[in-house]
A and B are shown apart, each in its own frame.
Chain A
Amino acid sequence: MYVAVKGGEKAIDAAHALLKHVRRGDTSIADLSVAQIREQLALAVDRVMGEGSLFDPDLAALAIKQARGDLIEAAFLVRAFRTTLPRFGASEPIDTADMEIERRISATFKDLPGGQVLGPTFDYTHRLIDFLLEAGVAPPAPPQAPVPVQAASPRVTDLLAGDDLIEQSPVGAPGQDVGDLTRDPLNFPAGRDLRLQNLARGDEGFLLALGYSTQRGYGRTHPFAGEIRFGSVELELFVEDLGFDVPLGDIDVTECQMINQFKGSHSEAPRFTRGYGLVFGQAERKAMAMALVDRALRARELGEIPEGNQAAPAQDEEFVLSHSDNIQSTGFVEHLKLPHYVDFQAELVLLRRLQAERAAQQSGQDASVQPVREAAE
């Protein structure tokens, strides 16, 4: 429990002033602009947009600066900001088949229509520190192909959809409500729409560890990276005053289609199943981990957990969805810093009494031992 404590205002004000001073660092070194963060620390910005659950690169860059590069703190600032704004509505669902492709790879089809383009990737680099960057050497201009990459490419899963070798995406009922965990508390079991919303804003490290755990045997899903694509898609909003969809501009997203082996069950034929990942910005690791966890969370639906067996961590919906949000996690972990003086005092009093009683007992005297009270929060 919390107990109101007075005092400390002056200390808090001074601490915040000191924070601002320390944030600026050595003033003989140039101040970092928000635009520099947006342009040159773009993947940090993307992560903050994803976990802050708000697409706004300028705002995310500012939050990173304010948070001194602490990305969870920055996501927290972004989440707090969004609560101050009215909501105009929901966009039309983005069409990732119509993406302006900057990267598109498949580990399952060598010759997919539209081809594979690597785009700006860390893959195949040697992970050697580049001291030219430290020296401030400008990079050479990237090569340009004579023929530009085609604007829209069909998704790999669409190409396979014709035969019955791979499951179709669930279509849902027309006009069906789309679950929104920012408006309604999460209940279990959660629909796949809510699970994906939760994972899309979930902590990258947490999802990465869970995805990895499925590969190591804690709820295997036998995945193939069917397709990973990154690029920009147009966002459209239906505006009632106008009566039609208005384009708002373009947002960057990363999509991962995992294709998973499925040996079939008593009701389902053997076929490939799918896990899906979709996140803001260029966030391939997160999109892949999200797709692995999305598929793992379907274990019960697909009858993969034998009767009486316990689900693996990545298959346990309540475990995954309740712990994926790093803003919630950090709030509860870090609240331990707040004053718990009265709680602790109570525990001390209790322990002293128990010890006194124990000592009395050992010295042969009779003492009534009281049950230990459960520790307060």
Chain B
Amino acid sequence: MGLLARATLSELQDLAQPLPLDITVLREPEVGLVLVRGRIGGDGQPFNVGEATVTRAAVRLGGGEVGYGHVLGRAPERARLGAIVDALWQAPDHRPRIESGLLAIDQRLAAEADVKRRQVAATRVDFFTMVRGE
């Protein structure tokens, strides 16, 4: 579900194809708020930092598989497709295809993270201490 939350709209559109015909909408895509909590000092008592927009949706397939979609932001289509893909993943016929699609998303995210981490690592500070009298 972490991968589905980070997938782009076009990735989800590809994964949900061919769109199942027997979709029952359990929850129309709905935009709402989630209170974002942090901890005092990073590890202490929780407090509320602010809120974030979140879109959620839920569907059921003909085989009874119930899928949920939750994404940050105002993104009804991504939440709806995410719920469909989540349901498809639970259907044995579809799972291998969905798994390979999710693997591709995982690889894309890992490649992007690797570039970013290398760029950040290039800004690492190597301290050296000046020796007196030198």
Contacts and interface: CB of A to CB of B under 8 A. Distances in A.
A253 B42 CA distance: 12
Given A176-B45, A196-B40, A248-B70, A55 B118 contact: no
B42 A200 contact: no
Interface stretch (B16-24, B71-79, B88-96, B99-107): B71-79
Contacts of A253: 38, 49
Contacts of A151: 117
Interface residues of A, number: 83
B4 to A, nearest CB: 9
A91 B40 CA distance: 15
B41 A276 contact: yes
A54 B124 contact: no
A284 interface: no
Given A58-B74, A88-B56, A158 B45 contact: no
A145 B54 contact: no
B51 interface: yes
A324 interface: no
Interface size class of B (residues with CB under 8 A): 35 or more
Nearest to A142: B119
Contacts of B116: 100, 102
Given A110-B127, A155-B42, A92 B37 contact: yes
A144 B95 CA distance: 37
B6 A82 contact: no
B70 to A, nearest CB: 5
Given A55-B52, A87-B32, A116-B124, A143 B44 contact: no
A248 B46 contact: no
A248 B50 contact: no
B1 A171 contact: no
Given A93-B37, A235-B52, A237-B34, A192 B45 contact: yes
B129 to A, nearest CB: 8
Contacts of B74: 56, 58-59
B87 to A, nearest CB: 13
A169 interface: yes
Interface stretch (A212-220, A238-246, A260-268): A238-246
A178 interface: yes
A88 B120 contact: no
B35 A241 contact: no
A235 B52 CA distance: 9
Interface string B26-66: 00001111111111111111111111111010100000000
Contacts of B70: 237, 239, 246-248
B45 A145 contact: no
A237 B37 CA distance: 10
24 contacts: A54-B53, A56-B73, A87-B33, A88-B34, A91-B52, A100-B116, A101-B120, A115-B125, A117-B121, A117-B124, A149-B121, A149-B124, A157-B41, A169-B42, A178-B46, A180-B35, A192-B47, A196-B38, A197-B48, A246-B68, A248-B34, A248-B70, A250-B72, A255-B42
Given A193-B45, A193-B48, A237-B34, 4 more contacts: A55-B52, A55-B72, A87-B35, A94-B36
